[in-house]
């Protein structure tokens, strides 16, 4: 149970700057697959693009938790197993005011057409500071980027940690 709470906290803490977009509004930044080859001059642009995608996902996730909108929350995950492990957020976390977060992508570990892995830090003033650097994996779900995995040991290569 402790790992689920840690996972839930990691998900809650992993987000970016304020947004007034309701949780039910589709993201506009997360609808295109990434470029697979990066020229040196575009690396900073790509880093900023990944930050924007992840910020959007995390702000929508936190807004869904704040509003108690399970349906919107469920649409943000790439796989059922990670979604179910993350549902503890609804059971154990509540916000008195709309949550605001800021993410910082430190390094792109993998950038492919259907999977992005990056190391980042999450800043949450209302939770007293920043998270430890960690790896987040996003998968392209046909129309948008979705949260696939947060943790260590998987960066888009090999079988997914939730595969049996």
**What local confidence, expressed as pLDDT, does residue 44 receive?**
85
Q: Where are the domains of the chain?
A: 2-25+42-151
Note the pLDDT of residue 77: 95
86-93: Cβ within 8 A, 24+ apart: 86/7, 86/8, 86/11, 88/4, 88/5, 88/7, 88/8, 89/8, 89/11, 89/12, 89/65, 90/65, 92/5, 92/8, 93/8, 93/12, 93/65
Read off the pTM: 0.73
pLDDT of residue 126: 67
Confidence at residue 8, expressed as pLDDT on a 0 to 100 scale: 39
Report the b/e string of 72-94 with b at 16+ CB within 10 A.
bbebbbbbebbbebbbbbeeebe
* Rounded CA separation 34/45 (Å): 12
Backbone angles phi, psi at 142, to 5 degrees: 90, -40
CB atoms within 10 A of CB 9: 18
Tokens standing for 61? 């996730």
Cβ atoms of residues 35 and 45 within 8 Å = no
Full pLDDT tens readout for the chain, 164 residues: 333 333 333 444 333 333 333 444 444 444 445 445 555 546 789 999 999 999 999 889 888 988 999 999 999 999 999 999 899 877 788 888 888 889 999 999 999 999 999 999 888 766 667 778 889 999 998 899 999 998 888 889 888 888 75
| Residue 65 Cα distances to 5, 61, 68, 145, angstroms | 15, 6, 5, 19
Q: Within the chain, what is the greatest distance between any pair of CA atoms? A: 45
Q: Please report the pLDDT score of residue 28 as a whole number.
A: 44
Q: Which fold has domain 2-25+42-151?
A: Nuclear Transport Factor 2; Chain: A, (3.10.450)
Give the per-residue pLDDT at 142. 84
Q: What pLDDT, on a 0 to 100 scale, did the predictor assign at position 153?
A: 83
């Amino acid at each position: 149970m402790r790992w689920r709470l840690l996972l839930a906290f990691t998900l809650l803490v992993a987000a970016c700057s304020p947004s007034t977009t309701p949780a039910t509004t589709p993201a506009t930044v997360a609808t295109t697959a990434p470029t697979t080859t990066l020229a040196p001059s575009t690396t900073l642009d790509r880093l900023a693009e990944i930050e924007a995608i992840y910020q959007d996902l995390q702000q929508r996730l936190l807004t869904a938790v704040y509003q108690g909108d399970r349906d919107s929350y469920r649409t943000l995950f790439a796989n059922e197993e990670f979604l179910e492990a993350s549902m503890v957020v609804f059971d154990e976390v509540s916000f008195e005011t709309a949550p605001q977060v800021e993410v910082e992508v430190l390094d792109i570990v993998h950038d492919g057409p259907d999977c992005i892995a990056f190391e980042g830090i999450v800043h949450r003033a209302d939770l007293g500071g920043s998270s430890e650097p960690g790896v987040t994996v996003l998968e392209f779900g046909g129309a948008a980027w979705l949260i696939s995995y947060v943790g260590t040991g998987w960066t888009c290569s090999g079988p997914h940690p939730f595969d049996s």
